[in-house]
Amino acid sequence: MRLGIISALHEEQQGLVEAMHSPHKLMHGMREYFVGRLWKIDAVCVLSRIGKVAAAMTATTLVEKFGVTHILFTGVAGAGDAGIRVGDIVVAESLVQHDMDASPLFPRYEVPLTGLTQFPTDSSMALELANAAARFLDNELAGTIDAQERAVFALDAPRLHRGLIGSGDQFVNEREHVQSLSKALPGLLAVEMEGAAVAQVCFELGVPYGVLRTISDNANENAATDFMRFVKSVAARYAFCIVRQFCLGHQASKVSAGTSS
């Protein structure tokens, strides 16, 4: 396995790059790619920047230039449903581009000429990610995020969800907008700006991928409040610990299966 790890925001990527064993940095297309070993996994870490085109460009480069065999996206997202709370974790089972509309030529949300409205993630990566996230919530959360930050963001027993994530080139910060998305896309758990673009690229190139999101806001008028504080003190730590759990878990499963990564 050569794992490409994409983060959308600098704060989320920093810890991973610092944890890399003998990384070397390569510039390509205005992005820095860090190649090295991360908890014994051959990895390439990169900041995609924000939005679908930025993410698609980064995912394509990871595959075509850096030869990654799997892609993992980590980031934050707005809640797509009233039952999802700030601090919860969403592991994508499938992703939809919620701003795609080539109707009436193609059905609403269908990505033209793919025949798909929802792109499924790789089921074994999704399972490994969910297991990693569950281990983090059960064993590491309390020791990782200090009590004051947990109180500020009311992180009271955060939960893990698996299902549909919607991506679009919009920061969703109006209650009516998120409500109409959730009505149009049953099962929508979270809204963000990159995942479904990575999904389309990976689908077209035949690369297994997974998407992990920490809920940073409720996608309503308060969405921008404390956004960066949450990213720094909560989401960056979630991402770091869950990626570590994912890498360690992946290594352990390979060892017990008697194969190498």
Nearer to ligand SAH, 44 or 211 (CB): 211
What's the closest the beta carbon of residue 195 comes to ligand SAH, in angstroms?
A: 7
Residue 101: phi and psi, rounded to 5, are -150, 95
What's the closest the beta carbon of residue 59 comes to ligand SAH, in angstroms?
A: 14
What's the closest the beta carbon of residue 257 comes to ligand SAH, in angstroms?
A: 34
CB 213 within 8 A of CB 121: no
- Report which DSSP code applies to 81: S
Residues that bind ligand SAH in the complex, under the rule CB under 6 A:
8, 50, 75-78, 171-173, 191-194, 216-217, 219, 223, 227
Gyration radius (Cα) of the chain, Å: 17
Cis peptide before 104 (omega within 30 of 0): yes
Retrieve residue 103's tokens: 């109707």
Spatial separation of the C-alpha atoms in residues 247 and 38, rounded to whole Å: 8
Residue 178: phi and psi, rounded to 5, are -70, -35
Residue 119: phi and psi, rounded to 5, are -100, 120
Residue with the CB atom nearest ligand SAH in the bound state: 78
Positive or negative: CA dihedral 190, 243, 146, 194: negative
CA nearest to 79, candidates 172, 147, 13, 6: 172
Nearer to ligand SAH, 33 or 230 (CB): 230
CA nearest to 168, candidates 248, 1, 51: 51
Nearer to ligand SAH, 69 or 220 (CB): 220
Nearer to ligand SAH, 62 or 191 (CB): 191
Nearer to ligand SAH, 66 or 171 (CB): 171
What's the closest the beta carbon of residue 190 comes to ligand SAH, in angstroms?
A: 8
- Report which DSSP code applies to 229: H
Give the type of residue at 22. Answer: S
Nearer to ligand SAH, 32 or 138 (CB): 32
What's the closest the beta carbon of residue 229 comes to ligand SAH, in angstroms?
A: 11
Nearer to ligand SAH, 35 or 185 (CB): 185
What's the closest the beta carbon of residue 247 comes to ligand SAH, in angstroms?
A: 23
Helix (H, G, I), strand (E, B) or coil at 220: coil
What's the closest the beta carbon of residue 171 comes to ligand SAH, in angstroms?
A: 4
